Amino acid sequence: MEFTEFAINLSGTHFVVAVALLSIALLLLGARQKAFSPQLDRGTGDVLRGFFILTVVLHHISQRLPGLGVLSPYAGRAGYLSVAMFFLMSGYGLSASARPDSGFAAYALKRLSRVYIPCVLVNTVLWFALGHAGSFLGVLNPLCYDNTQWFVVTILIFYVAHFASTKLSSHPSLPLLAFTAAYIAGCFYLRLGFWWCVSSLCFPLGCFWRENEGAIGKMLAKISAIHAALALTIVFVALTAVKQPTVLPFVLSPLFCLIVALLTSRFSLQSKPLALAGACSFEIYILHMKLLVILLHLMSRFGLTGSIWIVPYFVVLIASGYLFHRFNTLLAKTLIPGPRKLAQQA
């Protein structure tokens, strides 16, 4: 059963546009100039995750809305630009936290507790709610009820590739780049969707950024914020103008990430609403299509119309994501042994 095989027919899109413009305003209003630093601080990272997860959600909503008007970029390429940033920040964060001497068991358990287990938990709840639809073992597949969960599958693959790369080289980004090329070729060979691989180069880019912050910092310091903002606009327009899959997005997606990195090296982003969404961005990602299906069902059952219902949807989505995030954090701390505990057990 696919939860994403439906279309939403909402009259008017102005409330969806309002959510998009509000998220952009929160991002811009929270920008504060700072001393140049190529490091991505946690606060700015959370704000970026919050902004880009809302963009992903709006992207999926806009694909199912007629007459988008000014929101058309969200139905175009803004979705995979956001995913590109998540790949970049995942690669950066993983390289910053990875320990070369850690074993695979500790490494895998930490990532599974944060990524895979929450997805299986949601699928299990859905399996019971849908009256045991399909085999119970099907809940182990992240794509069981929601084909937008391809990112879960992809990021787990890259986590394994990153661990192997740390064992092969002191500069993991190099073998990881070779793996990414093989991954892209595999996606084309298996005829997976274009979205499975178009942003994947940004993961090794994030690792490379972390490994070479000093050299990258010297390069970024020579570029002004005005030039970066202009370049960002050009790249975004170029990407949203591409109607069919081409090689261009594979090149411009990493460029987009580099320009965003340049801007964050000169500006600190401060927005409590976006930081809150960013802290639970993965949980929001897991839940957003399921809650969208529930919204569709309720609107159909009670004869509700109008895009105003997108607003309470976002409120429920962020609140649910936050509570789910707290639960997952507690689960990881209590049920999944950390590297230190594993070492003591050994």
Residue-wise pLDDT tens digits, 15-73: 566 666 677 777 767 778 777 787 888 888 999 999 899 888 888 887 766 555 555 55
Lowest mean pLDDT among 157-171, 195-209, 210-224, 228-242: 228-242
Residue-wise pLDDT tens digits, 275-316: 999 999 999 999 999 898 888 788 778 887 766 778 888 999
Residue-wise pLDDT tens digits, 215-267: 877 777 777 767 677 776 766 666 556 555 567 778 888 888 888 888 888 88
* pLDDT at res. 337: 58
Domain regions of the chain by residue span:
14-345
∠ CA 57-39-23, nearest 5°, is 25
C-alpha separations of 313 from 90, 166, 243, 346 in Å: 27, 42, 30, 47
Q: Which whole number is the average pLDDT over 175-197?
A: 92
Residue-wise pLDDT tens digits, 117-127: 899 999 888 88
